[in-house]
């Protein structure tokens, strides 16, 4: 798996100030193409499409290629999904198979209802 | 240089245990008790309660490895940040940042914040491996420290997974041939809280920090060392400004240099008892005695004499302050103040209860290292005795060895109880010392007198006499005590005995005088008798002479008469015979 930016639909205008309009900056950390990582990416894409149409930017970071980032971003568990923006930073670990918990982790649960 | 020393050390270790390679930790004393250090390429668990020095041990292992043995290291901490860690060891004189800059050390702080983390489904700790691998590769590490890896148990919920992962980490470290120290908290009943010792079975070191009688001591024990013999005792250790040091007791070899030089005791009479030349240089002298028997005075004489002859002396007092000793010794004519002033005498007084034993030992070590004395006096060692006599014994043995190794003449005073065997010191160090001077109070006739004798002095024909030990304003004098029929007379008893002897000799003299007079009278009598006899003899002689003379005269007259007659008859003398 390469470090790749998964292009979502272009974000909506950010001037509305509405919480739902805030763009989420997400990073998924994986270490090589392990089954867990592939499942996580699949789950994440699905969640994003269902709940965050256009309101996110996603980077997939392969730590095998850029191991330095594991230290810099304090990654221990694999896979880890990090929400860098908006603050505060949130971390979700695991294969993201529990959608509800992912939404809670991303602080999106209220919108997810 | 560092590599060379490492090689020699591992060679030495492998000769003893050919199957196991060891990496020296560089920690003073630890490599001695483990016969070379930690198992190379294998993980070692260092466990203990909070504040026992686990992290310090691990840090020193890493830093010494990087600086002294040319083995770069990785520090992965789970509780403290890299900056905190480097600040912690900065107080020990290690500059972590410069090692990091030189790529000899790699710090990675693994921050675990459970509140930030949401778990959704399956995961593993591959990130840890990525980080470890990256760290090891970026400095070419040979050593790794995982400081309290158990912290991950608080950060993640899936204990089964965590155990599997930790097992994998240890496997990984072994496969990569990394000499690793893993620190772990002590558990309730187990060595470590999460049973890490189950995974690491090569070497387990347990650290302990306990408080006895309000004095804390740190202990180390090698619980397990697979494939290697090791010291199994609990070894005291301490952490001070020079780092971690273990005090091995049994591994000290007896191979000190010895000197034939002598050093005066400062008391002429005592030197005379020691072949007239005093102690051996670099020997250890024990002065034991009951309280008030003059131990400190003896010690002060020795210090005074050493300084007088230009030697540096270190005086460690556990009972009196410097000023007090100086004042008191002035009363016996010793001026220690002048030597303190000119720097030959260094005086250190502190309370025995101030530290634990190890700290005392270390403090003396440090003082000796700084001041480089030729003479060390500890007055008295008795006060160091805490609950455990064995500990004191061991500590003193180490101190003696240390001083002997440096050719420092050491004098210890020790207090013996008034009752009981005086030949037995309470700390039982008499067997460790070379010369043992016993001061003893003898109570007799309502007074108490000090006696001194040399109980033993290795390597010299010392006097076997008991001397009376007299303190005066001019210092100590040893009087030859009166010895007769197994009794020693001292003080007034000695004076009385001497008076008795004087009376006896006077009486003898008087008797002699009488005899002499008697004899002179006798001689006079005899002489007068001789005179009488002689006069008798001389009168006899003169009688005899007179008779002789008369006879001669008579014969002459007869001859004359005969001639006359012949003339008258006309007969010559020639035919006289024919006619008759």
More confident position, B312 or B88:
B312
Q: Pick from B72, B250, B460, B133: which is nearest to A71 by CA?
A: B133
Closest CB to B134: pick one of A67, A78, A96. Answer: A67
Which is more confident, B223 or A87?
B223
Burial B235-258 (b: 16+ CB within 10 A, else e): bbbbbeeebbbbbbbeeeeeeeee
Residue B237: pLDDT band (50, 70, 90) is: confident
B74 part of contact set with chain A, CB < 8 Å: no
| B33 token code pair | 């008790």
Residue A105 to residue B108, Cβ atoms within 8 A: no
Torsional class of B453: left (φ above 0), alpha (ψ -120 to 50), beta (otherwise): beta
Chain A nearest-CA residue for B76: A71
Please report where in the chains the tokens 């483990």 appear, as a residue: B34
pLDDT (average), residues B33-60: 87
Q: What is the ipTM of this complex?
A: 0.79
Nearest CA in chain A to B136: A67
What whole-number distance in Å separates Cα of residue B554 and Cα of residue B563? 14
Number of cross-chain residue pairs from A and B with Cβ atoms under 8 Å apart: 99
B370 confidence band (pLDDT: 50, 70, 90) = confident
The yes-or-no verdict on residue B249 having pLDDT over 60 is no
CA distance B345 to B371: 10
Using only the alpha carbons of chain B, give its radius of gyration: 47
List % helix, strand, coil for chain A (3-state, nearest 5). 30, 25, 45
Residues 90-119 of B with CB under 8 A from A: 108, 110-112, 116-119
Which residue of chain A is at minimal alpha-carbon distance from B111? Answer: A74
Span B146-157, mean pLDDT? 83
Cβ distance of B123 and A31 shorter than 8 Å: no
> What average pLDDT does the segment B544-570 reach?
90
The CA-CA-CA angle for residues B16, B20, B21, to 5°, reads 95
pLDDT in tens, B162-201: 888 888 988 999 999 999 999 888 877 777 777 777 777 7
Contact flag B120-A101 (C-beta cutoff 8 Å) = yes
Whether residue B427 has pLDDT greater than 60: no
Interface-testing mutation among B123, B139, B154, with chain A (most A C-beta atoms within 10 A)? B123
Cα distances from B98 to residues B84, B87, B102, B476, in angstroms, run 15, 13, 6, 59
Contact status, residue B245 vs residue B27, Cβ threshold 8 Å: yes
The tokens of B248 are what?
């091995």
Angstroms from B113 CA to nearest CA on chain A: 10
Tokens of A56: 């996110």
Question: How high is the mean pLDDT of chain A?
Answer: 76
For the stretch B493-519, pLDDT in tens is 777 778 888 888 999 999 999 999 999
Q: How confident is the model at residue B528 (pLDDT cuts 50, 70, 90)?
A: very high
Cα angle A14-A20-A21, degrees, rounded to a multiple of 5: 10
Q: What does the pLDDT read at residue B10?
A: 45
Query: In angstroms, rounded to a whole number, what is the distance separating the alpha carbons of residues A53 and A55?
Result: 6
Quick one: what percent of chain B has pLDDT higher than 90?
Answer: 16
């Amino acid at each position: 798996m390469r470090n790749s930016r998964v292009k979502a639909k272009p974000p909506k205008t950010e001037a509305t100030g509405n919480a739902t309009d805030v763009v989420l900056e997400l990073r998924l950390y994986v270490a090589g193409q392990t089954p867990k990582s592939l499942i996580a990416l699949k789950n994440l894409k699905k969640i994003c499409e269902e709940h965050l149409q256009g309101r996110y930017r996603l980077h997939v970071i392969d730590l095998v290629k850029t191991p330095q980032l594991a230290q810099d971003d304090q990654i221990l568990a694999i896979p880890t999904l990090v929400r860098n923006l908006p603050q505060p930073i949130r971390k979700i670990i695991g294969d993201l198979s529990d959608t509800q918990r992912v939404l809670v982790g991303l602080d999106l649960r209220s919108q997810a209802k | 240089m560092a590599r060379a020393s490492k090689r020699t050390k591992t060679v030495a270790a492998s000769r003893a245990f050919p199957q196991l390679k060891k990496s020296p930790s560089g920690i003073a004393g630890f490599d001695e008790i483990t016969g070379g250090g930690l198992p190379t390429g294998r993980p070692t668990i260092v466990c203990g309660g909070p504040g026992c020095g686990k992290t310090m041990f691990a840090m020193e292992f890493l830093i010494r490895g990087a600086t002294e043995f040319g083995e770069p290291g990785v520090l992965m901490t789970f509780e403290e940040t890299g900056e905190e860690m480097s600040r912690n060891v900065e107080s020990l004189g290690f500059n972590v940042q410069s090692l990091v800059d030189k790529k000899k050390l790699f710090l990675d702080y693994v921050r675990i914040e459970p509140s930030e983390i949401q778990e959704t489904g399956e995961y593993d700790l591959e990130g840890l491996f990525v980080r470890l691998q990256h760290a090891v590769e970026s400095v070419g590490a040979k050593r790794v420290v995982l400081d309290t890896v158990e912290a991950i148990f608080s950060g993640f919920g899936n204990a089964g997974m965590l155990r599997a992962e930790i097992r994998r980490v240890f496997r990984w470290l072994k496969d990569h041939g990394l000499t690793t120290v893993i620190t772990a908290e002590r558990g309730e009943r187990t060595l470590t809280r999460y049973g890490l010792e189950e995974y690491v079975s090569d070497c387990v070191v347990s650290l302990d920090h306990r408080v006895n009688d309000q004095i804390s001591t740190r202990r180390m024990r090698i619980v397990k060392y697979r494939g290697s013999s090791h010291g199994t005792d609990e070894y005291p250790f301490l952490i001070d400004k020079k780092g971690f040091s273990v005090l091995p007791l049994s591994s000290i070899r007896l191979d000190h240099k010895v000197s034939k030089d002598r050093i005066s005791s400062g008391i002429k009479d005592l030197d005379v008892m020691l072949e007239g030349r005093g102690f051996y240089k670099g020997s250890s002298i024990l002065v034991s005695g009951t309280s008030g028997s003059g131990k400190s005075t003896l010690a002060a004489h020795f210090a005074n004499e050493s300084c007088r002859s230009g030697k540096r002396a270190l005086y460690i007092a556990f009972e009196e302050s410097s000023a007090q000793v100086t004042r008191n010794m002035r009363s016996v004519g010793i001026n220690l103040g002048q030597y303190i002033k000119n720097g030959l005498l260094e005086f250190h007084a502190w309370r025995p209860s101030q530290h634990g034993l190890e700290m005392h030992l270390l403090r003396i070590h440090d003082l000796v290292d700084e001041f480089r004395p030729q003479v060390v006096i500890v007055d008295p060692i008795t006060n160091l005795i805490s609950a455990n006599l064995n500990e004191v014994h061991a500590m003193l043995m180490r101190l003696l060895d240390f001083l002997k190794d440096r050719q420092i003449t050491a004098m210890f005073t020790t207090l013996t109880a008034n009752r009981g065997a005086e030949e037995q010191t309470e700390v039982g160090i008499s067997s460790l010392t070379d010369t043992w001077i016993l001061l003893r109070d003898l109570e007799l006739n309502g007074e108490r007198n000090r006696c001194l004798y040399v109980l033993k002095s290795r390597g010299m024909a010392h006097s076997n006499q008991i001397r009376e030990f007299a303190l005066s304003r001019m210092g100590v004098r040893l009087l030859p005590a009166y010895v007769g029929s197994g009794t020693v007379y001292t003080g007034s008893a000695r004076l009385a005995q001497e008076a008795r002897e004087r009376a006896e000799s006077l009486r003898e003299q008087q008797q002699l005088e009488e005899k002499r007079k008697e004899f002179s009278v006798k001689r006079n009598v005899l002489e007068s008798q001789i005179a009488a006899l002689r006069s008798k003899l001389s009168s006899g002689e003169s009688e005899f002479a007179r008779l002789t003379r008369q006879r001669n005269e008579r014969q002459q007259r007869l001859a004359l008469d005969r001639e006359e007659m012949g003339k008258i008859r006309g007969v010559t003398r020639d035919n006289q015979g024919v006619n008759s």
